[in-house]
């Protein structure tokens, strides 16, 4: 790469800004988390004492093992659910497929802790369903604890496995299967020996996403784990408890979390580096003709999973329009919950809308040029940028937030207590998504269009803004809205970073969960669901005719 | 208007040398073609001139101005891309006006020039159409108009016809040639199609593995290929290798397997190996009892195949040692060829011998 060449001025500029931003607000805070975990309380001597202290306490060791057990179980469960479902959707005549597919992506964007709370409303101690079951003589059914956590995580993250696997099943060249059968293998044998290995990389890629998401998720275990120790929750509690003092133990938990997630990420890269799953299929393979029994079974299975994942959200919306007497649901319709919620303050709703808009705009503004440089200017430098821009994937929101607080609560740049630190945290967390989404869109725009523009006398930077950005517009707007949606329901970094006047809807919900005001919590949950679903419907319309993978 | 001077240009991608030490000069108003198989470096060389590919070594000049250090958007070249690269979010008129806007040409003048450019490519009245409403050939014309309207110093064409169907390809290439000649533009044309190259060019450079294998006018390259590669790449040929057995009357006798051939004078010693190219159409089948023209060599061989192609009839003759000699002849119906044993004649002076 020639640094003097005028052709590289634009990508170099983008890379410089990206490295400066990520260096300051991602790598530096993470470095401080590492540093805190390796120094003694006075901050002067290098030591492993913090690790010894944390790992010798049974309570914290349990947190690590619980997190790993739940993560691995949920990963296996999503594969067990997601792969057959992907096969059904790719190769069997499941009724209502387009709607089913649209609904199946919903669990990924709906706020996960709202889902967890909805499950509590249904299957908690005073849950509607568990009480009904107790009345029928089946007592003790509860969503709390490990099985509940695994169930909820599975229902919320199975699309991570379903979507790439479905794409892979559709990309399988049917002639490979035909060749297998032509050589005398049975249908099942062909599937096992020919089709399955081809889709395996997609399955594992999705599975590892599930593992990382499960490990770093804060809201779901906060709602469902009760007293059971979980890594992400412990890091938060340790840090909040130690605020102002030395965040050494929280740092250790953070480092452990990063170690687990980046281990998974490296495993995924290592595995995928040696395999490709495209087989050069020209069209999607044809549907299989199967008997009525199989058709029924596949329809019941696919629709069952999707409905089971979405019913709690529906239930919580319905419940929010019922009156509560204290924590007790009365089944009388009314808007009391919303009245109470807004009577207290409308500020959190406004905060959520404003912070999410700022963060989504920022992530797009930074993410699109990065995605552009990564796609159009391959070099050693862009490879490094690619890796750095993906780091936030492996970092739990809680850990990043802790790092930001340690780094910017004193010194030359003080950000704690304001809104900017929230926006920065969101921006960093959502950047990989924004970068990948714009790279996906760019792959569909022929580079010769940009060359034609430059050739006609327009500089590379102006070509980007004048030609490429308008061409990307549809996809970029879709990506921005999706970023907005996920920011609006972000919890794990928010709970660490927010301060009084900048509480968001998720914080209100979080506080309501800690207290006993179930009515307010359900109203807040409904608001969050609306804030998620309405923009999603917009995106769906916007991207209807585009083959842009947003995940 | 513009001459292009390429001096000692080289570029490697990693360990692969795309272009190695190429020097050539393209004259003012010349249509110059880079021809070669994929991966030969022809597109890299074109992109170097456009500015989309950096040079490892060497220099490129337009007249006396060094341009390889000028950013691509200031080189004032007009490039036509293989896939046309028409901006899908703009009308035809806005596509054509794009380069003028970048040059801050006033609106009234822009309108005039766009109209003129569209007339030039026979697209008047198409200004308000959208690209998706146009056919491949029409898109190609828009791409041409978009280049011509900026009055570029050189016109660069990167396999511009390869996405069109055969008939349109023939039509468009003569149109491009006419435009280039009437406007007196210096043009560099890249293609892998030898027929296209021969039909359109003033001169051709045949490239292979980053080097220029031969440079010359189309008939020179076809008629006097410098290397076996060029002979085979330009059309079909009989590329034969044998041993020199004798020199007779300023001609050389070469034995290929157990068949004797006569070729032009060669300085190689008797007994040494030599290869030569004998074009199929340079071999004439002789009718029963017909005498060969004076000075021509005659071969007597078994015919193994007849392929009637309309204007052309192709024949395969068996050579001793299992080889095949390909013959192409015009206006000879298969039934006129007589028995399977037949005589053919060729002029030894028309055989190209490779040293």
Do A82 and A165 contact (CB within 8 A), yes or no?
A: yes
Q: Give A-chain residues touching B82 at CB under 8 angstroms.
A: 448
Burial of A286 (0-12, 13-18, 19+ CB in 10 A): exposed
Q: Give B-chain residues touching A461 at CB under 8 angstroms.
A: none
Task: Select from A24, A499, A45, A492 the least CA-distant residue to A248.
Answer: A45
**Distance (Å) from the C-alpha of residue B37 to the closest C-alpha of chain A?**
21
pLDDT value at residue A532: 84
The residue-averaged pLDDT of A204-222 equals: 88
Mutate to test the interface with B, among A456, A459, A467, A470 (most CBs of B within 10 A): A456
* Superfamily covering domain B238-354: Nucleic acid-binding proteins (2.40.50.140)
Contact A458 B102 (CB under 8 A): yes
Q: Give A-chain residues touching B96 at CB under 8 angstroms.
A: none
Do B186 and B4 contact (CB within 8 A), yes or no?
A: yes
Give SS3 for B121.
coil
Question: What span, in angstroms and rounded, lies between the C-alpha atoms of A489 and A357?
Answer: 12
Contact A458 B150 (CB under 8 A): no
Q: Is the pLDDT of residue A276 over 70?
A: no
Contact B83 A446 (CB under 8 A): yes
Do A423 and A457 contact (CB within 8 A), yes or no?
A: no
Contact B54 A7 (CB under 8 A): yes
Q: Is the pLDDT of residue A90 over 90?
A: no
Closest-CA residue in chain A for B148?
A456
Task: Select from A509, A527, A530, A506 the least CA-distant residue to A518.
Answer: A509
Q: Give A-chain residues touching B52 at CB under 8 angstroms.
A: 7, 451, 454
The residue-averaged pLDDT of A529-545 equals: 77
Tell how far CA A514 is from the center of its chain: 24
DSSP E strands, A398-459: none
ipTM (interface predicted TM): 0.85
Mutate to test the interface with B, among A9, A454, A455 (most CBs of B within 10 A): A455
Average pLDDT, chain A: 82
pLDDT value at residue B334: 66
**Which residues touch B187 (CB under 8 Å, ≥6 apart)?**
B30, B31, B32, B154, B155, B156, B157, B180
Q: Give A-chain residues touching B51 at CB under 8 angstroms.
A: 7, 454-455
Domain boundaries, chain B: 4-227, 238-354
Contact B71 A453 (CB under 8 A): no
Question: What span, in angstroms and rounded, lies between the C-alpha atoms of B259 and B320?
Answer: 6
Size of interface A-B (CB pairs under 8 A): 69
Question: What span, in angstroms and rounded, lies between the C-alpha atoms of A170 and A284?
Answer: 5
**Which residues touch B335 (CB under 8 Å, ≥6 apart)?**
none
Closest-CA residue in chain B for A448?
B85
CB atoms within 10 A of CB A551: 17
Judged by average pLDDT, the poorest of A322-326, A473-477, A536-540, A544-548 is A544-548
Contact A457 B103 (CB under 8 A): yes
Q: Give A-chain residues touching B74 at CB under 8 angstroms.
A: 457
A440-475 exposure pattern, b = at least 16 Cβ within 10 A, e = fewer: bbbeebeebbbbbbbbbbbbbeebbeebbeebbebb
Contact B98 A458 (CB under 8 A): yes
Q: Which of A2, A448, A458 sits opposite B85 (nearest CB)?
A: A448
Phi-psi region of B78 (alpha: psi -120 to 50; beta: other; left: phi over 0): beta
Residues of chain B numbered 59-78 and touching chain A (CB < 8 Å): 71-74, 76-78
Judged by average pLDDT, the poorest of A180-189, A361-370, B113-122 is A180-189
Q: Give A-chain residues touching B71 at CB under 8 angstroms.
A: 6-7, 459
Q: Give B-chain residues touching A456 at CB under 8 angstroms.
A: 73, 78, 98-99, 102, 146-147, 150
Q: Is the pLDDT of residue A73 over 60?
A: yes
Judged by average pLDDT, the poorest of A6-15, A370-379, A530-539 is A6-15
Mutate to test the interface with B, among A8, A445, A457 (most CBs of B within 10 A): A457
Contact A448 B77 (CB under 8 A): no
Give SS3 for A412.
coil
Mutate to test the interface with A, among B73, B104, B113 (most CBs of A within 10 A): B73
CA A487, A488, A492, A496 dihedral sign is positive
Do A265 and A212 contact (CB within 8 A), yes or no?
A: yes
**Residue A549, both tokens:** 């993978």
Mutate to test the interface with A, among B14, B85, B146 (most CBs of A within 10 A): B85
**Distance (Å) from the C-alpha of residue B289 to the closest C-alpha of chain A?**
58
pLDDT value at residue B20: 92
Question: What span, in angstroms and rounded, lies between the C-alpha atoms of A451 and B53?
Answer: 11
Task: Select from A502, A388, A397 the least CA-distant residue to A33.
Answer: A397
Judged by average pLDDT, the poorest of A116-120, A134-138, A464-468, B252-256 is A134-138
CB atoms within 10 A of CB A40: 13
Do A150 and A116 contact (CB within 8 A), yes or no?
A: no
Question: What span, in angstroms and rounded, lies between the C-alpha atoms of A183 and B301?
Answer: 47
**Distance (Å) from the C-alpha of residue A377 to the closest C-alpha of chain B?**
12
**Distance (Å) from the C-alpha of residue B184 to the closest C-alpha of chain A?**
20
Answer whether B50 touches A (CB < 8 Å). yes
Q: Give B-chain residues touching A457 at CB under 8 angstroms.
A: 73-74, 76, 99, 102-103, 150
Task: Categorize the per-residue pLDDT at A322 as very low, low, confident or very high, splitting at 50, 70 and 90.
Answer: confident
Distances (CA, A) of A225 to A3, A309, A542, B90, B210: 54, 19, 39, 56, 66
**Distance (Å) from the C-alpha of residue B225 to the closest C-alpha of chain A?**
35
Return averaged pLDDT per consecutive 10 residues of chain B, 355 residues in all: 92 89 94 93 94 92 93 92 90 94 93 93 92 91 93 93 87 91 94 93 95 94 92 90 84 85 81 90 86 88 86 87 86 71 88 85
Domain boundaries, chain A: 321-551
pLDDT value at residue A80: 94
Contact A470 B89 (CB under 8 A): yes
CATH number listed for the domain at residues B4-227: 3.40.50.300
**Distance (Å) from the C-alpha of residue A535 to the closest C-alpha of chain B?**
26
Question: What span, in angstroms and rounded, lies between the C-alpha atoms of B42 and B35?
Answer: 7
**Distance (Å) from the C-alpha of residue A388 to the closest C-alpha of chain B?**
24
Q: Residue A181 — φ and ψ, nearest 5°?
A: -70, -35
Judged by average pLDDT, the poorest of A36-45, A240-249, B208-217 is A240-249
Contact A457 B52 (CB under 8 A): no
Contact B72 A471 (CB under 8 A): no
B186-191 and B154-158: which strand pairing? parallel
Q: Give A-chain residues touching B88 at CB under 8 angstroms.
A: 449, 471
Task: Categorize the per-residue pLDDT at A409 as very low, low, confident or very high, splitting at 50, 70 and 90.
Answer: confident
Q: Give B-chain residues touching A467 at CB under 8 angstroms.
A: 87
Tell me the helices (H) and strands (E) count for chain A, helix number first: 27, 2
Closest-CA residue in chain A for B103?
A457
Angle at A462 between CA A458 and CA A467, to 5 degrees: 85
Question: What span, in angstroms and rounded, lies between the C-alpha atoms of A505 and A503?
Answer: 7
Q: Give B-chain residues touching A469 at CB under 8 angstroms.
A: none
Longest dimension (CA), chain B: 77
Contact B85 A467 (CB under 8 A): no
B238-248 and B251-256: which strand pairing? antiparallel
Do B95 and A467 contact (CB within 8 A), yes or no?
A: no
B117-142 exposure pattern, b = at least 16 Cβ within 10 A, e = fewer: bbebbebeebbeeebeebeebbbbbb
A341 or B2: which leads in pLDDT? B2
Distances (CA, A) of A21 to A28, A367, A427, B186: 10, 11, 10, 48
Q: Which of B79, B82, B88 sits opposite A455 (nearest CB)?
A: B79
Task: Categorize the per-residue pLDDT at A1 as very low, low, confident or very high, splitting at 50, 70 and 90.
Answer: very low
pLDDT value at residue A4: 39
Task: Select from B292, B281, B290 the least CA-distant residue to B329.
Answer: B281
A183 or A115: which leads in pLDDT? A115
Task: Categorize the per-residue pLDDT at A546 as very low, low, confident or very high, splitting at 50, 70 and 90.
Answer: very low
pLDDT value at residue A258: 87
CATH number listed for the domain at residues A321-551: 1.10.3720.10
* pTM for the model: 0.75
Q: Give B-chain residues touching A460 at CB under 8 angstroms.
A: 73
Longest dimension (CA), chain A: 79
Contact A7 B51 (CB under 8 A): yes
Q: Give A-chain residues touching B54 at CB under 8 angstroms.
A: 2, 5, 7
């Amino acid at each position: 790469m020639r640094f003097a060449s005028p052709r590289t001025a634009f990508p170099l500029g983008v890379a410089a800004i990206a490295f400066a931003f990520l260096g300051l607000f991602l790598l530096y805070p993470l470095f401080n988390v590492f540093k805190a975990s390796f120094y003694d309380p006075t901050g002067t001597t290098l030591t492993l004492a913090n690790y010894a202290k944390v790992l010798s306490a049974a309570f914290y060791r349990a947190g690590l093992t619980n997190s790993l057990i739940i993560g691995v179980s949920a990963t296996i469960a999503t594969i067990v659910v997601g792969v057959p479902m992907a096969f059904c959707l790719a190769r069997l005549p499941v009724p209502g497929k387009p709607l089913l597919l649209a609904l199946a992506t919903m669990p990924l964007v709906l706020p996960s802790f709202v889902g967890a709370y909805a499950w509590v409303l249904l299957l908690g101690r005073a849950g509607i369903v568990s009480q009904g079951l107790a009345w029928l003589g089946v007592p003790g059914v509860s969503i709390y604890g490990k099985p509940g956590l695994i169930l909820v995580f599975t229902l919320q993250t199975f699309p991570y496995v379903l979507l790439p696997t479905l794409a892979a099943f559709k990309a399988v060249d049917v002639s490979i299967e035909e060749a297998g059968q032509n050589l005398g293998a049975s249908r099942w044998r062909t599937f096992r020996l020919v089709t399955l290995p081809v889709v395996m990389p997609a399955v594992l890629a999705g599975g590892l996403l599930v593992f990382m998401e499960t490990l770093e998720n804060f809201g779901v275990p906060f709602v469902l784990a009760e007293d059971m120790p979980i890594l992400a929750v412990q890091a938060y509690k340790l840090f909040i408890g130690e605020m102002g003092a030395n965040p050494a133990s929280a740092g250790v938990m953070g480092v452990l979390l990063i170690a687990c997630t980046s281990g998974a990420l490296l495993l995924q890269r290592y595995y995928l580096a040696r395999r490709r799953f495209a087989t050069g299929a020209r069209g999607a393979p044809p549907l299989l003709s199967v008997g009525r029994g199989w058709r029924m079974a596949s329809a019941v299975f696919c629709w069952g999973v999707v409905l089971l994942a979405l019913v709690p959200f529906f239930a919580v919306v319905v419940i929010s329009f019922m009156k509560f007497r204290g924590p007790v649901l009365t089944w009388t319709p009314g808007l009391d919950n919303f009245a109470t919620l807004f009577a207290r303050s409308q500020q959190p709703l406004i905060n959520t809308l404003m912070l999410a808009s700022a963060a989504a705009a920022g992530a797009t503004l930074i993410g699109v040029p990065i995605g552009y440089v990564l796609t159009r200017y391959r070099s050693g430098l862009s490879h490094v940028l690619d890796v750095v821009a993906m780091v936030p994937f492996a970092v739990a929101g809680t850990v990043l937030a802790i790092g930001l607080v340690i780094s910017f609560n004193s010194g030359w740049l003080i950000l704690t207590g304001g809104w900017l630190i929230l926006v920065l945290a969101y921006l960093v967390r959502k950047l990989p998504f924004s970068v990948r989404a714009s790279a996906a869109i760019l792959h569909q725009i022929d580079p010769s269009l940009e060359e034609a523009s430059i050739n006609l006398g327009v500089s590379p930077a102006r070509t980007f803004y004048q030609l490429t950005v308008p061409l990307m517009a549809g996809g970029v707007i879709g990506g921005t809205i999706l970023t907005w949606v996920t920011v609006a329901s972000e919890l794990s970094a928010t709970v660490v970073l927010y301060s009084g006047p900048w509480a968001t809807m998720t914080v209100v919900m979080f506080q309501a969960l800690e207290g006993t005001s179930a009515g307010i919590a359900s109203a807040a949950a409904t608001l969050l669901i609306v804030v998620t679903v309405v923009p999603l419907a917009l995106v769906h319309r916007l991207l209807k005719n585009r083959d842009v993978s947003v995940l | 208007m513009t001459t292009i001077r390429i001096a000692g240009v080289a570029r490697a991608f990693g360990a692969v040398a795309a272009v190695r030490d190429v020097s050539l000069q393209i004259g003012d108003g010349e249509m110059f073609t880079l021809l070669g198989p994929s991966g030969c470096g022809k597109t890299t060389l074109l992109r170097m001139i456009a500015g989309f590919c950096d040079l490892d070594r060497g220099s490129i000049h337009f007249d006396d101005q060094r341009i390889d250090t000028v950013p691509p958007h200031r080189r004032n070249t007009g490039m036509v891309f293989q896939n046309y690269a028409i901006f899908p979010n703009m009308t035809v008129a806005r596509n054509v006006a794009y380069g003028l806007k970048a040059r801050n040409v006033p609106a009234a003048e822009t309108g005039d020039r766009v109209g003129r450019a569209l007339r030039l490519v026979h697209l008047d009245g198409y200004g308000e159409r959208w690209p998706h409403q146009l056919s491949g050939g029409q898109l190609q014309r828009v791409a041409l108009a978009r280049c011509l309207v900026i009055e570029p110093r050189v016109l660069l064409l990167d396999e511009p016809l390869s996405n069109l169907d055969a008939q349109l390809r023939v039509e468009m290439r003569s149109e491009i040639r006419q435009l280039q000649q009437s406007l007196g533009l210096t043009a560099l044309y890249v293609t892998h199609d030898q027929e296209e190259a021969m039909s359109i060019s003033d001169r051709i450079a045949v490239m292979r593995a980053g080097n220029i294998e031969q440079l010359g006018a189309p008939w020179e390259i076809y008629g006097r290929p410098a290397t076996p590669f060029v002979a085979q790449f330009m059309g079909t040929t009989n590329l034969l290798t044998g041993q020199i057995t004798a020199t007779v009357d300023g001609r050389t006798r070469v034995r290929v397997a157990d068949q004797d051939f006569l070729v032009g004078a060669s300085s190689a010693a008797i007994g040494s190996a030599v290869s030569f190219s004998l074009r199929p159409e340079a071999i004439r089948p002789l009718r029963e009892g017909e005498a060969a023209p004076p000075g021509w060599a005659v071969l007597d061989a078994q015919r193994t195949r007849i392929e009637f192609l309309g204007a052309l009839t192709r024949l395969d003759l068996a050579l001793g040692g299992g080889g095949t000699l390909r013959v192409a002849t015009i206006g000879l119906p298969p039934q006129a060829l007589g028995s399977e044993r037949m005589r053919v004649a060729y002029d030894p002076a028309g055989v190209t011998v490779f040293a």
